[in-house]
A = this chain, B = another copy of it.
Amino acid sequence: MDLKEILEKNESKILLLVADGLGGIPHPDYGYKTELQVANIPNLDELASKSALGLTIPVEPGITPGSGPAHLSLFGYDPIKHEIGRGVLEALGIGFHMTKRDVAARGNFATIKPDGTIVDRRAGRIPTEESRKIVEKLQEHIKEIDGVEIILKPGKEHRFVLILRGDGLSDKITDTDPQHEGLKMLDPEPLDESAKFTAEVIKKFIKKALEIIKDEPRANGILLRGFAKVPDLEPFPQRFQLRALSIAAYPMYKGLTRLLGFDTPDAGDNFESEVAKVEELWNDYDFIYLHYKDTDKAGEDANFEKKVKVLEKLDTFIPRLLNLKPDVFVVTGDHSTPSYIGGHSWHPNPLLIYSKRAGIFNPEAKFTERDCSKGYLGIMKAMDLMPVLLANAGKLKKFGA
């Protein structure tokens, strides 16, 4: 339904703490327990015993999401309807501020034969520093093509980001990366009429770039994929009538929330500085998104003990956050990253909603996947969370009479 008709502004504050990749599954090497079950997290456990618990499905049952769609869901946007292209995520990930006039693509340096055949799609994973110099050289020589501004930003190793900035650009362009070695680089092709001009500009860019790097021993080829414009989303503050703050150390999350219209001040590079920034700006916002990355990193590294440790670290910050007296305090993940799997997974996220009106709580409950799975909130779609938070904050009027 259209929430706009029943939204109501008030002074109450919602704090959404997203522990990235929070959920786990039983690990056979640790007595078939999850990281949350093993971790010593007295503050989160106490909070859970006074909160409504549940699980959220990030996108759909069985679907393992990337961070982009998983966060869109949490913020109440349909992640299937609003796909964020790889080029955009790549640009966000290096902290580039995209505008609506931009088309971004993920670039790889590659090693090619004189006839264009790809020998190594990653140019031997050349060092970041070496790659950065090549990107700078390209940028120095190519600044504009047919009135379109060309922006190049280095990434890790062989990766870089290409941004075209201009009017009337389209992202309906095929990849030039054939995804296999032994094949030739492809031409960028327009997928419809509106993309013809953009495709021509990219072709000219590639031609110029290849000329400039032709003597590089390894990085003498260029592969582009995931051409994308920023999605056309109604800004979060407008959609939910909230003054929205995003506190995230990682560029990807900062960039994504900036796209959604959150204020995204610099919050340092660690969780201590993030929490300090929340405390500093607390009074100026109604909705505060706070991102904790370490849980995901440990899960991705398949490091059970590390994930336990960073959960315990997160736990020590809970009293400071409670001290701010949020009217609604939510702790959840964007997706699960079980260390047993060593990557994102489809398993639903533990969810805790602490508010005066959250509903039924279980004084015996702890903050674990199991207790959340037995919680009052049941298993819900992450996309349904926003209305529940707004309701808890008293920001939704009655629907109908």
Contact = CB atoms under 8 A, between A and B. Distances in A.
Given A1-B59, A378-B379, A387-B61, A398 B360 contact: no
A26 interface: yes
A376 interface: yes
Interface residues of A, number: 65
7 contacts: A1-B60, A25-B359, A60-B384, A63-B391, A340-B357, A346-B391, A373-B375
A346 B68 contact: no
A400 B79 contact: yes
Contacts of A84: 400-401
A127 interface: no
How many monomers of this chain does the complex have? 2
4 closest residue pairs by CB, A with B: A62-B387, A66-B400, A378-B379, A62-B388
A346 B69 contact: no
Contact of A376 (B68, B69, B373, B390): B373
Main secondary structure of the interface of A (DSSP, over half): loop
Interface in A68-100: 68-70, 79-80, 83-84, 86, 89-90
A346 B59 contact: no
Given A373-B378, A376-B373, A391-B346, A59 B360 contact: no
B399 A360 contact: no
A41 B61 CA distance: 30
A80 B1 contact: yes
Contacts of A347: 359
Contacts of A358: 25
Interface of A: 1, 6, 25-26, 32, 34, 55, 59-70, 79-80, 83-84, 86, 89-90, 338, 340-341, 343-347, 356-362, 369-370, 373-380, 384-391, 396-401
Contact of A378 (B55, B60, B360): B55
A245 to B, nearest CB: 21
Given A83-B400, A376-B370, A388-B346, A357 B63 contact: no
A181 B283 CA distance: 33
B391 A69 contact: no
A278 to B, nearest CB: 24
A369 B356 CA distance: 16
Contact of A384 (B61, B66, B343, B401): B61
A64 B395 CA distance: 11
Contacts of A79: 399-400
A346 to B, nearest CB: 5
Contact of A67 (B32, B62, B370, B401): B401
Nearest to A88: B401
A61 B66 CA distance: 25
A58 to B, nearest CB: 9
Contacts of A361: 26, 32
Given A55-B378, A344-B398, A346-B391, A360 B64 contact: no
A282 to B, nearest CB: 24
A356 B25 CA distance: 9
Given A61-B387, A376-B373, A401 B346 contact: no
A366 to B, nearest CB: 13
Contact of A63 (B370, B377, B396): B396
Nearest to A336: B359
A376 B387 contact: no
A388 B64 CA distance: 10
A338 B355 CA distance: 15
A400 B84 CA distance: 7
A399 B26 contact: no
A337 to B, nearest CB: 11
Contacts of A25: 357-360
A63 B346 contact: no
